Amino acid sequence: MPTILDTPPAAIQRDLDALSAALDAQIPAKADDNFLIATWNIRAFSSLTREWTAGSSHSPKRDLRGLLAIIEIISRFDVVAIQEIKGDLRALRDTIHFLRAHGDWGFLMTDVTLGAAGNDERFGFIFDRSRLIPSGLAAELVVPEERLGRIGQNALRTQFARSPYAVSFQRENSTVILVTLHVLFGNREADRLAELQEIADWMSDWAKRSNRFHHNLLTLGDFNIDRQGSDGYEIFTAAGLQVPDVLMNLPRTVFDDPGDPDDDKFYDQIAWFNTGRGALIDMHLRAGGNFDFQPFVYTDTNLTRNSISHRVSDHFPLWVEFRI
């Protein structure tokens, strides 16, 4: 049985080389004066079939070549917020094993979220320890009882289905608090609005506090926002959170059709406050985007987009580069 550290077969190595070249062309290189942050909902990031290419009888379908593609993408950033880490950590363990064999990497994560709505999910951060370090804070956000009793159409009545996870990191002299979450999808958009309202209000309150301590504050993850201008988007941004222009109108998933104006899902986001108390202090946006990995994986197969989504992901990573 092959392992994640073995040399891949020639056809798979060609894919990995092409993927690496595409990342070189699209993602800024790590430099002394930049800070690269990404968010990625990796579909059911759980177990792993330790074969180069999973066959029809294998379960799960995520295999070594799919995981190597995930690792190559993660390695381009200083820190990546991961959603949909599941209870089984086999794929995550192999990811960290590979990264630590080739550098100095760390990770932090929550325990699994119990209950049907929690979907057995964890949140995690994978980070390059040669570039940044955790600076002290690691916490899940729990809504105080008095906030759950608020009056309003979109007031949250229960705790988050999956408690948002906040971790602070230091890069050079800049400290940033990253808050990642995966908003409940529900059966319709209205089911998501209470969680979006609460995180927007919470971030606004927190930004006013954290600003006094010279901390930057970002929120990132899968917000399950339908589109710009939707009720979810308006609630998310009403408290002052801003999505940078470079992330507007970018496909978020492998199933998006960029040519269809009605297919502009805004599921994944990276957002912060641009003005007022809580605005970024010493980090200045330089670039951002998504990364479509599909042309560079499984090119020697006839796998469908859905099949690839189970091996790599159904979501694209979303990223920003800051000058510090």
- Residues 68-87 have pLDDT tens digits of 999 999 999 999 999 999 98
What was the pLDDT predicted at 229?
67
What was the pLDDT predicted at 52?
98
Q: How confident is the model at residue 146 (pLDDT cuts 50, 70, 90)?
A: low
For residues 10-18, give the mean pLDDT: 98
Query: For 10-323, which CATH class?
Result: alpha beta
For residues 264-285, give the mean pLDDT: 82
- Residues 240-268 have pLDDT tens digits of 888 899 998 899 999 987 665 555 667 89
Q: How confident is the model at residue 235 (pLDDT cuts 50, 70, 90)?
A: confident
What was the pLDDT predicted at 309?
97
Strand (E) or helix (H) holding 113: none
- Is the pLDDT at 223 greater than 60? The verdict is yes
Bridge-partner residues for 234, per DSSP?
Answer: none
- Residues 167-203 have pLDDT tens digits of 999 998 889 999 998 876 665 666 678 788 888 888 8
Where are the chain's structural domains? 10-323
Give the length of the chain. 324
Mean pLDDT over each residue of the chain, to the nearest integer: 87
What is the 3-class SS of 186-220, one letter each residue? CCCHHHHHHHHHHHHHHHHHHHHHHHHHCCEEEEE
Report CA 152 to chain centroid distance, whole Å: 30
- Is the pLDDT at 60 greater than 70? The verdict is yes
What was the pLDDT predicted at 115?
54
In our burial notation (b when 16+ CB lie closer than 10 A, e otherwise), range 42-67 reads bbbbbbbbbebbbeeeeebbbbbbbb
Helix intervals (H) in the chain? 10-26, 64-74, 90-101, 145-148, 193-210, 231-238, 305-311
- Which residue has better confidence, 181 or 298? 298
Q: Tokens 């290189």 — which residue?
A: 29
Decide: helix, strand or coil at residue 143.
Answer: coil
Decide: helix, strand or coil at residue 181.
Answer: strand
What was the pLDDT predicted at 187?
59
Q: What is the CA radius of gyration of the chain?
A: 19
Q: How confident is the model at residue 114 (pLDDT cuts 50, 70, 90)?
A: low
Residue 187 CB neighbours (<10 A): 7
Name the residue among 145, 168, 156 with its Cα closest to residue 117.
Answer: 156
Question: How many whole angstroms separate alpha carbon 91 and alpha carbon 64?
Answer: 9
Share of residues in the chain with pLDDT > 90 (%) = 59
For residues 55-62, give the mean pLDDT: 94
- Is the pLDDT at 152 greater than 80? The verdict is no
The DSSP 8-state label assigned to residue 49 in this structure reads B
